[in-house]
Amino acid sequence: MTRPLLFIAADPRECLPWVARWDESHALPLPVHWARAGKWQGRAVIAIANGAGAVRAAAAVAASPEPSAICSIGFCGALDESLLIGEIFVATEVRNGTRNYRVITPTAPPARTGVLISNKLIVQTAAEKKKLREMGCHIVEMEAASVARASEDLRVPFYCIRAVSDLANEDFANDFNSFLMPNGRFSVPRLILGALRNPVVRFGELIRLSRRTALASKNLGDFLAACAF
């Protein structure tokens, strides 16, 4: 049996434009939130979205059939002030604060490259982002280091490609960490109740973030389709 190329994300929205390009795409019955299998240019591919955070990402890899290679994909926060919304970033190194992981660069169109850091929590403020930038990091997210560790354990190549969904100089008005549940998903009722405390600012931010992630997801799908792994 041909081993698939595996893509790990936190949310299905990070995968949908990419999976839409596959042939024979279908739901895959795995013990995860969301999984799809198909073929891309004749190659077996799987995408799994299993919620935010290191534990959820590791569980996603563990639930998958043995892959030929693994790629961490999804949204990210910019630490570098020159990065723009929707811009593609190909990690050349992944860190988690205690370890640095080697990343393979795919054959791909030109894109921004550099160091990604996986944080335990969503980075809420520009001040937090500045501290991470001063450590030599360019983008931040929550899952890539866990996927890198899993790839290392499986002894398969690891790739990491992200799309920017929030800027380096921005604070979040919504406290997203307080709405994140143990299953890696956001509690929508709590998110709405929290936004009602300052509806103009907080609902405005949610609408803006929805538009940004839609652009990031589209650009990510276009870029992945142009890559050779």
State pLDDT tens for residues 176-200. Answer: 999 999 999 999 999 899 989 999 9
Give residue 64's pLDDT band: very low, low, confident or very high (50, 70, 90): very high
Q: Is the pLDDT of residue 204 over 70?
A: yes
Whole-number average pLDDT of the chain: 96
pLDDT(1) > 80 = no
Assess contact for 24 and 44: CB atoms under 8 A.
Answer: no
- Stretch 3-17: mean pLDDT, rounded? 98
pLDDT tens per residue across span 135-150:
999 999 999 999 999 9
pTM given for the model: 0.96
pLDDT tens for each residue of 80-137: 999 999 999 999 999 999 999 999 999 999 999 999 999 999 999 999 999 999 999 9
Q: Given pLDDT bands bounded at 50, 70 and 90, which one contains residue 55?
A: very high
CB-CB contact of 48 with 38 (8 Å): no
| pLDDT value for 95 | 98
6 has a pLDDT exceeding 70: yes
